[in-house]
Amino acid sequence: MKDLLRKILKTGRVAEDAPDRPEAASPDRTRALGGSVQVRHVDAGSCNGCEVEIASAFGPVYDAERYGARQVASPRHADALMVTGPVTRNMEMALRRTYEAVPEPKVVVAVGDCARNCGVFAEAYGVAGAVGDVVPVDVEVRGCPPEPEAIVAALRGLTGR
């Protein structure tokens, strides 16, 4: 136990230094969220690349939680949906229902180029459309996949921290 405590003290902080606060995505919504956002992630058909970056964004190095963003297991506990991938036909209804389950005021963040405009999967037979074709999108995060810094910046734009 002592060794472990010594190691923790010696290691110190591993998180990246906090960059400057980004501009709020929407000042009204940011005010309504009150400095924290509970996020439900929905993989609507991603290749999993975006999920790896989201995991990094919430990991110890980028540490999105220090800015008030937290992942939750149910859309009923969420303020925001973070959607990845193009929306496949099999996920279209599930995404609509998940969106309906999130209480107002709610925010949708489309993470990655596939979520924004179907990306490399555009016109694939199993794709129903981009996230914005199925539910209203408030914030987009560019990239294939987006870097964790960009995901954290988008979440900070919601929490205002």
Q: From 123, 129, 147, 150, select the one nearest 139 (Cα to Cα).
A: 150
| 113 contributes a contact to ligand SF4 by CB under 6 A | yes
Tell me the closest approach of the beta carbon of residue 12 to ligand SF4, in angstroms. 32
Here the tokens at position 15 are 């998180």
**Site for ligand SF4, residues 13 to 42, rule: CB under 6 A:** none
| 120 contributes a contact to ligand SF4 by CB under 6 A | yes
User: SS3 of 154, please?
Assistant: helix
Nearer to ligand SF4, 112 or 148 (CB): 112
Here the tokens at position 153 are 């910046």
| Binding test (CB under 6 A) with ligand SF4, winner from 30, 46, 56, 88 | 46
Q: Could you tell me how many residues make up the chain?
A: 161
| 148 contributes a contact to ligand SF4 by CB under 6 A | no
| Binding test (CB under 6 A) with ligand SF4, winner from 68, 75, 119, 160 | 119
At residue 56, what is the residue type? S
Q: From 157, 160, 54, 32, select the one nearest 104 (Cα to Cα).
A: 32
**Interaction site with ligand SF4 (CB under 6 A):** 46-47, 49-50, 84-85, 112-114, 119-120, 144-145
